Amino acid sequence: MITINDVSKVYGRGEKAIVALDAVNLEVPQGEIFGVLGESGAGKSTLIRCVNLLERPSSGSIVVNEQEITSLSGPALRKARQRIGMIFQHFNLLSSRTIAENVAFPLEVMGYNRAQRQERVKELLALVGLENRARAYPAQLSGGQKQRVGIARALAGKPDVLLSDEATSALDPQTTLSILELLQDLNQRMGLTILLITHEMGVVKQICHRVAILEAGKVVEQGRVSDLAAQPDSRLARSLFPRPQSYAAQPGARVLTISFAGESADEPVLSNVIRQFDVDVNILSGNIEKFGEQRIGQLQAEFVGGQFDAALNYLRNLGLRVEVNE
Ligand SMILES: Nc1ncnc2c1ncn2[C@@H]1O[C@H](COP(=O)(O)OP(=O)(O)OP(=O)(O)O)[C@@H](O)[C@H]1O
């Protein structure tokens, strides 16, 4: 579990001061994958680097697994960092070392002897599916394989928490998917808590249980991904389900935004409306996304004629969120 309490970070002083983080509060539950989503310059890197104190917050505190990281320094901080793994966008591998030697590096620092290192490296490379590449050098690997080495190295000290700094941003979509699947697998099998930062909604959709949206150093929204997706006006839903730019409704017609979550996404709702209330329905846009086992969708439709109020009641009584666009 990671708790970020009222953390601010200011770079520089006086007129040139830049507020990179502004009173950020986040709680990452044990065993969950938590995404911090934001555009370039929002403060994502600064935030994740504060969690292992690569960057020291200007104020506030950070607790990782019941230990207040922000109160540590020197050997105590180095020891605490061994329980916090980190992976990077550009992998940060040592080019003059083999894959096995890269993964062994943190183990050397932790004082494992040669035999212990060999055994642990073997386990770690098997965990990320690279047992056959131990003697290769980073330059001989694909981007996805390099990130697998990065993950193996990050897990060397058996961390409880993995920090991921845009780990898939340099990878093509197919490789991104395989790395996300590996992270999800590690989360499920080992109960690894993962805090990741990304500018890609796809990453959040694919593996995150929770998300926080960061804008200009402030958290502007956070919650369970499926809950936010089901709230039509959340920032997450608005970017997942873009609405048509503008649409001039026909005279007498009303434009509705209907949000589906869970089972109602499977019901023939619109055909029921058309049949029961004699309404003509023109679909303007629609999309259904899958979050784990749950399907969440949003639809914009124009309702023309018939018993509009009764149709609206019917939809709302089904538990659907319906907004009538003005
Ligand atoms: N070491 C530094 N010194 C001064 N300003 C910095 C430093 N690091 C980051 N900043 C500034 O802090 C703000 C947040 O930067 P940060 O790198 O955390 O954002 P980000 O969301 O990770 O962006 P990106 O995705 O482009 O890396 C930016 O205005 C940036 O210019």
SS3 content of the chain, % helix, strand, coil (to 5): 40, 30, 30
Of 6-10, 43-47, 207-211, 233-237, the one with minimum mean pLDDT is 233-237
Structure tokens at 17: 């001061």
Fold of 2-235: Rossmann fold (3.40.50)
pLDDT at 265: 53
Confidence of residue 297 (pLDDT cuts 50, 70, 90): confident
E strand or H helix at 168? none
Residue 64: CB within 6 Å of ligand 1? no
Mutation test residue for ligand 1: of 18, 48, 51, the one with most atoms within 8 Å of CB? 18
CATH class, range 243-325: alpha beta
Which residue puts its alpha carbon closest to atom 2 of ligand 1?
A: 11
* 126: phi then psi, degrees, rounded to nearest 5: -65, -40
- More confidently predicted of 248 and 129: 129
User: Are the C-beta atoms of 302 and 242 separated by less than 8 Å?
Assistant: no
What is the sign of the dihedral through the CA atoms of 182, 82, 121 and 119?
negative
CA separation for the pair 256, 253 (Å, rounded) = 10
**Ligand 1: distance of its center to the CA of 47 in Å?**
10
Query: Does an H or E element contain 290, and which?
Result: strand 280-291
The pLDDT value given to residue 267: 67
Longest dimension (CA), the chain: 79
Q: Above 0.95 for ipTM, yes or no? A: yes
pLDDT band for position 270 (cuts 50, 70, 90): confident
| Phi-psi category of residue 305: left, alpha or beta, with phi > 0 → left and psi -120 to 50 → alpha | left
At 293 the pLDDT is 72
Q: CA–CA separation, 255 vs 326, rounded Å?
A: 8
Is-same-fold flag (2-235; 243-325)? no
- Model confidence at 249, pLDDT cuts 50, 70, 90, reads confident
**118-157, pLDDT tens digit by residue?**
999 999 999 999 999 999 999 999 999 999 999 999 999 9
Give the strands of the sheet with 193-198, arranged side by side: 84-88, 161-165, 193-198, 33-38, 210-215, 218-224
* Amino acid found at 248: A
Residue 252 pLDDT level (bands cut at 50, 70, 90)? confident
Q: Is the CB of 199 under 6 A from ligand 1?
A: yes
pLDDT at 278 over 90: yes
**Residues belonging to the chain:** 326
CA dihedral 105, 109, 114, 117 (to 10 degrees): -60
Domain residue ranges of the chain, discontinuous segments joined by + = 2-235, 243-325
Listed range (157-166, 196-205, 313-322) with the worst mean pLDDT: 313-322
Distance of CA 283 to the CA centre of its chain: 31
Mutation test residue for ligand 1: of 7, 8, 10, 11, the one with most atoms within 8 Å of CB: 11
